[in-house]
Amino acid sequence: MKTDAELVASALRGSQDAYRELVKRFERPVYSLVVRMVQDPAAAEDLAQEVFLKAFRRLGSYDPQWKFSSWLFKIAHNTTIDYLRRGGPATVPLEAEEGDKGGLGAVLADGTTADPQAMAERRDLARSLERAIAQLRPEYRQAVLMFYAHGASYQDICEVTGLPLGTVKTNLHRARKELAQAMTSLGWGPKGEMAGETGRVPGS
Amino acid sequence: MRPSHQNALDRWLAAERGDRPEEAEAALAELFGALPLIAPPAGFADRVLVRAGIQAARGGVFASRVVRLVLAACLVAMGLGVLWLPPTLRWLAGRWSLSDVVQGGVQALIDGTQWLASALRLWDLLLTIGGALTQPLTLPQVTAILVACLVASSLAFRFLRDQISGERNWTYVDPI
């Protein structure tokens, strides 16, 4: 399998297959980040497309010393900020109906477990987590998503957001605390505190 | 057996309450690991490539089966046209006399000349207006002021663009 840098070099030489491979390789990470940031699937697809278009136009300026994903996330970061600044509808929580293929329902119903109750619990938990993430401030949300959902390092987040290391660490720490508070307020609690069992408070 | 993500949730929330940041971080990372990335709607890559103008050039103009069919139909029609051309020309020659053709040609020449005269009058009017507008530019002071205005507006535009695109931080984004 070709590395990202090799694909970029092929794309710059005019290989259309390389362009396609780059999109296929990064469409999920970019779309996931954007949709969780803007909380609007329709706008997210448009923005994610814009991210790739900007990347293709500026591919010549990409420095292979950088990780391609970091470079792409930086473009996603700028594009998302510009959208949120323009006053995009960032106040609607990302919800999905049952069976919604583009939404959370599809994400959670991954079929890795055959137990319907376990699947329902997992779906419930993930929906709560998405809701809690949506309640975070945009800068906290992006730090959490990049660090935990995309496995980015502190340094990667610094490069993408342009923030100092200390600020990134502080944002992540506060975001984690706020996330825990949000999950607790949504009815989730540690084992032993919720009627002897993990999970949501009965009736919540 | 309890699913791993629920165990991770338990450990994370317990660690947060117990103020054990490293344990909380590890448990939360594990919890996020249980949540797959969200896939974009089907055909996302195709739409990106179409917008980028890459797919259009991918197979060239003749890649489409419809285009090839239309092209073949055009070639067949052209072949039939070549077959029918001589009898059609003979039929037309029988209907029009030489004087009709000459009269038609002269009329077309007159119409064309009149159209050209109208176009030249309009061009003359535009030249007059342009001359009146550029008259002040012959003065060095006016030219200097105009150049200064252009330079100032270019610099202002550049500065504004740098301000907008350069400083992308969260300060001006409303928290949710």
Domain membership of residue B22 (yes or no) is yes
Q: Could you give the CA distance from residue B44 to residue B137 in angstroms, rounded to a whole number?
A: 54
**Residue A108: is its pLDDT beyond 60?**
no
| Domain end call among A92, A124, A149 | A92
Domain membership of residue A202 (yes or no) is no
The shortest CB-CB distance from B3 to any of A23, A31, A118 is to: A118
Statement to judge: residues A56 and A1 lie in one domain: yes
Domain membership of residue A195 (yes or no) is no
**The predicted structure's pLDDT at residue A169:** 93
Statement to judge: residues A83 and A106 lie in one domain: no
Radius of gyration of chain A (CA): 19
- Does residue A194 contact residue A176 with C-beta atoms inside 8 Å? no
Number of neighbours of residue A174 by Cβ within 10 angstroms: 15
- How many helical (H) and strand (E) elements, i.e. helices and strands, does chain A have? 9, 2
Of B48, B50, B54, B58, nearest in space to A24 by CA: B48
Give the pLDDT band (50/70/90) at residue A105: very low
Share of chain A above pLDDT 70, in %: 79
**Taking residues B51-77, what's their average pLDDT?**
76
- What is the amino acid identity at position A120? A
The number of folded domains in chain B is 1
| B61 vs B73, residue with greater confidence | B73
Residues 15-34, chain B, touching A (beta carbon < 8 A): 16-17, 21, 24-25, 28-29, 31-32, 34
**Residue A21: is its pLDDT beyond 90?**
yes
**The predicted structure's pLDDT at residue B59:** 52
Say how many Å lie between the first and final Cα of chain A, rounded.
Answer: 48
Contact B40 A107 (CB under 8 A): no
- What residues make up the domain containing B9? 1-35
A-chain residue closest to B45, CA distance: A23
SS3 A188: strand
Statement to judge: residues A66 and A43 lie in one domain: yes
- Does residue A49 contact residue B67 with C-beta atoms inside 8 Å? no
**Residue A5: is its pLDDT beyond 50?**
yes
Of A165, A194, A122, A88, nearest in space to B3 by CA: A122
- Give the count of Cβ contacts less than 8 A between chain A and B: 154
Q: What's the pTM? A: 0.64
Number of neighbours of residue A53 by Cβ within 10 angstroms: 17
**Residue B73: is its pLDDT beyond 90?**
yes
**Residue A91: is its pLDDT beyond 50?**
no
**Taking residues B87-99, what's their average pLDDT?**
80
Domain membership of residue A55 (yes or no) is yes
A135: contact with B, CB 8 A cutoff: yes
Domain membership of residue A24 (yes or no) is yes
Q: Which residue has the tokens 């002021």?
A: B145
**The predicted structure's pLDDT at residue A92:** 43
pLDDT in tens, B16-45: 888 898 999 999 988 887 777 888 999 999
Give A137→chain B minimum CA distance, Å: 5
| Joined tokens for residue B171 | 């300060």
Helix ranges (H only) for B96-139 are 98-134
Statement to judge: residues A61 and A115 lie in one domain: no
Q: Which of A13-22, A83-92, B91-100, B141-150 has the lowest mean pLDDT?
A: A83-92
**Residue A109: is its pLDDT beyond 50?**
no
Give the pLDDT band (50/70/90) at residue B52: confident
**Residue A90: is its pLDDT beyond 60?**
no
Helix axes A116-135, A165-185, angle to 10 degrees: 130
The C-alpha angle A124, A129, A130, rounded to 5 degrees, equals 100
Distances (CA, A) of A191 to A197, A199, A201: 6, 8, 11
Statement to judge: residues A65 and A118 lie in one domain: no
Residues 75-134, chain B, touching A (beta carbon < 8 A): none
Statement to judge: residues A153 and A82 lie in one domain: no
Contact B51 A49 (CB under 8 A): yes
Statement to judge: residues A106 and A38 lie in one domain: no
Sign of the torsion formed by the C-alpha atoms of B15, B16, B18 and B21: positive
A37: contact with B, CB 8 A cutoff: no
For an interface test with B, the pick among A7, A20, A92, A153 (most B C-beta atoms closer than 10 Å) comes out as: A20
Statement to judge: residues A121 and A82 lie in one domain: no
**Taking residues B60-85, what's their average pLDDT?**
84
Statement to judge: residues A111 and A83 lie in one domain: no
**Residue A46: is its pLDDT beyond 60?**
yes
Domain membership of residue B76 (yes or no) is no
Residues 70-129, chain A, touching B (beta carbon < 8 A): 77-78, 81-82, 84-85, 87, 90-91, 101-104, 106-108, 110, 113, 118, 121-122, 125-126, 129
Domain membership of residue B16 (yes or no) is yes
- What residues make up the domain containing A143? 100-190
Q: Could you give the CA distance from residue A77 to residue A27 in angstroms, rounded to a whole number?
A: 15
Q: Could you give the CA distance from residue B84 to residue A45 in angstroms, rounded to a whole number?
A: 55
Domain membership of residue B130 (yes or no) is no
**Residue A196: is its pLDDT beyond 70?**
no
**Residue B176: is its pLDDT beyond 60?**
no
pLDDT in tens, B103-137: 889 999 999 999 999 999 999 999 999 999 888 88
Statement to judge: residues A64 and A106 lie in one domain: no
Q: Which of A24-28, A61-65, B55-59 has the lowest mean pLDDT?
A: B55-59
**The predicted structure's pLDDT at residue A190:** 65
| Domain end call among A51, A72, A92 | A92
| Domain end call among A71, A92, A113 | A92
Residues 42-71, chain B, touching A (beta carbon < 8 A): 44-45, 47-49, 51-52, 54-55, 57-58
Domain membership of residue B112 (yes or no) is no
The number of folded domains in chain A is 2
Contact A183 B9 (CB under 8 A): yes
Statement to judge: residues A171 and A106 lie in one domain: yes
**Taking residues B44-65, what's their average pLDDT?**
73
Q: Could you give the CA distance from residue B103 to residue B96 in angstroms, rounded to a whole number?
A: 11
B35: contact with A, CB 8 A cutoff: yes
Backbone conformation region of residue B137, classed left if phi is above 0, alpha if psi is from -120 to 50, else beta = alpha
At A136, which CATH number? 1.10.10.10
Give the pLDDT band (50/70/90) at residue A98: very low
Statement to judge: residues A85 and A31 lie in one domain: yes
Domain membership of residue B19 (yes or no) is yes
Give B70→chain A minimum CA distance, Å: 27
Give the pLDDT band (50/70/90) at residue B174: low
| A115 vs B78, residue with greater confidence | B78
